[in-house]
C-alpha cells in the first residue's frame, strides 16, 4: 500500500493542484494539492468547516473551482460535468443520502443500472449487490421503512452499481450504531481488496482506526497534515485542532 504522500508522480489516479473555492468571503477550499494512486484507501479528516464536503463536491463536479485543476486518470476534468465524471469512473456517496424514500429498494437500485442492464441481468446484479450490502430480502420494501444504517448501505450500493474506479464516501457511518459501523468498515475493506480506490471523509475516529488507512487532514480548507494513521494520531498539532473545536462547541453550549 502506498503512503498518503504517494501518487505525486504522473501515474496518480487522481490529482488536484491549487484547488480553491470560496463562498462569499469564506475560502472553503484554499489551494489544495492532493494526490492519490490507483488502489489506495485514504481517509480525510478535519473539524467541522474544514472544507471536506466542499472538496468532495469539487471532485464530483457538482460545484466548480475558482482556481486550480483536477486530473483523473491523466485527464483534466476540472470543468467536466458530474455525469461525465461518473462515466469516467468516479462514484460518490454523499453525507446527505441520494436515495428515494417513496420507492422500493429494487427501484432505487434500478436507477443507476438502467442504462447498462435490463431483465434477468439487472435482477441478478441487484441481488448480488444487496447480498453484499447486508440488504438481501429488502428488495420490495420502501426505502423510507429501512433503518438509517440500511439507507446508508443502499446509497453506497447505488454508487457501486456504476462500477466506479474511484469511490468517494462522505461520512458513510453517520448515524450508525457500533455493529453497523463495523459492518461498513468490513465492506470498505472488501471493496479495497478488490481493487477499488476509495477516499473516505469521516468524523468517527474509531471508524478511521478500523480502516487503518493513510490520512489527510484538512483545516481551514488546506491540507494541514498527511501520513499514516499512527503518525497523524501522534501529531500534537492535529490533536490541538480537534481539542480546539471541542472547546469552542463547549463554550457555545454554555452561552446558550
**Among residues 162, 179, 211, which one ends one of the domains?**
162
Question: What does the alpha-carbon distance between residue 66 and residue 172 come to, in Å, rounded to a whole number?
Answer: 28
> What does the pLDDT average to over 169-188?
92
CA 255 and chain centroid, separation: 34
The enclosing domain of 206 has a CATH number of 3.40.50.300
Question: What does the alpha-carbon distance between residue 162 and residue 179 come to, in Å, rounded to a whole number?
Answer: 27
Does pLDDT of 250 surpass 70?
no
* pLDDT tens per residue, range 183-235: 999 999 999 999 999 999 998 889 999 999 999 999 999 999 999 999 999 99
* Pairing outcome for strands 26-36 and 14-23: antiparallel
**3-state secondary structure at position 43:** strand
Query: 133 and 234, same structural domain?
Result: no
* pLDDT tens per residue, range 56-103: 999 999 999 999 999 999 999 999 999 999 999 999 887 666 789 999
Range scoring the smallest mean pLDDT among 30-44, 217-231, 242-256: 242-256
Task: Work out the pLDDT band at 243, boundaries 50, 70, 90.
Answer: low
Query: 81 and 185, same structural domain?
Result: yes
Query: 183 and 222, same structural domain?
Result: yes
Query: 66 and 4, same structural domain?
Result: yes
**Among residues 162, 194, 209, which one ends one of the domains?**
162
Does some domain include residue 251? yes
Does some domain include residue 133? yes
CA within 13 Å, CB half, 72? 23
**Burial of 79 by CB count in 10 Å (0-12 exposed, 13-18 middle, 19+ buried)?**
exposed
**Among residues 146, 162, 178, which one ends one of the domains?**
162
Query: 1 and 73, same structural domain?
Result: yes
How many structural domains does the chain have? 2
Residue 48 confidence (pLDDT): 87
Domain that holds residue 123: 99-162
Question: What pTM does this model have?
Answer: 0.86
Does pLDDT of 175 surpass 90?
no
Does some domain include residue 94? no
Angle between the 148-160 and 119-132 helix axes, to the nearest 10 degrees? 130
* pLDDT tens per residue, range 137-154: 999 999 999 998 999 999
Residue 5 confidence (pLDDT): 38
Task: Work out the pLDDT band at 246, boundaries 50, 70, 90.
Answer: very low
Amino acid at each position: 500500500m502506498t503512503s498518503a504522500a504517494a501518487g505525486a508522480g504522473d501515474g496518480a489516479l487522481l490529482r488536484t493542484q491549487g484547488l480553491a473555492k470560496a463562498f462569499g468571503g469564506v475560502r472553503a477550499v484554499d489551494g489544495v494539492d492532493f494526490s492519490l494512486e490507483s488502489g489506495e484507501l485514504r481517509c480525510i479528516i478535519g473539524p467541522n468547516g474544514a472544507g471536506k464536503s466542499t472538496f468532495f463536491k469539487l471532485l464530483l463536479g457538482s460545484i466548480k473551482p475558482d482556481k486550480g485543476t483536477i486530473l483523473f486518470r491523466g485527464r483534466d476534468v476540472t470543468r467536466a460535468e458530474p455525469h461525465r465524471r461518473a462515466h469516467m469512473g468516479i462514484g460518490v456517496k454523499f453525507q446527505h443520502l441520494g436515495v428515494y424514500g417513496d420507492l422500493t429498494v429494487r427501484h432505487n437500485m434500478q436507477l443507476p443500472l438502467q442504462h447498462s442492464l435490463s431483465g434477468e441481468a439487472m435482477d441478478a446484479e441487484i441481488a448480488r449487490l444487496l447480498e453484499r450490502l447486508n440488504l438481501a430480502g429488502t428488495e420490495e420494501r420502501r426505502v423510507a421503512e429501512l433503518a438509517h444504517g440500511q439507507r446508508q448501505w443502499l446509497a453506497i450500493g447505488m454508487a457501486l452499481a456504476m462500477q466506479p474506479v474511484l469511490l468517494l464516501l462522505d461520512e458513510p457511518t453517520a448515524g450508525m450504531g457500533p455493529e453497523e459501523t463495523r459492518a461498513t468498515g468490513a465492506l470498505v475493506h472488501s471493496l479495497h481488496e478488490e481493487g477499488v480506490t476509495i477516499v473516505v471523509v469521516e468524523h468517527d475516529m474509531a471508524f478511521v482506526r478500523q480502516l487503518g488507512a493513510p490520512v489527510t487532514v484538512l483545516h481551514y480548507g488546506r491540507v494541514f497534515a498527511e501520513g499514516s494513521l499512527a503518525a497523524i494520531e501522534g501529531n500534537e498539532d492535529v490533536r490541538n485542532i480537534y481539542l480546539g473545536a471541542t472547546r469552542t462547541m463547549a463554550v457555545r453550549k454554555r452561552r446558550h
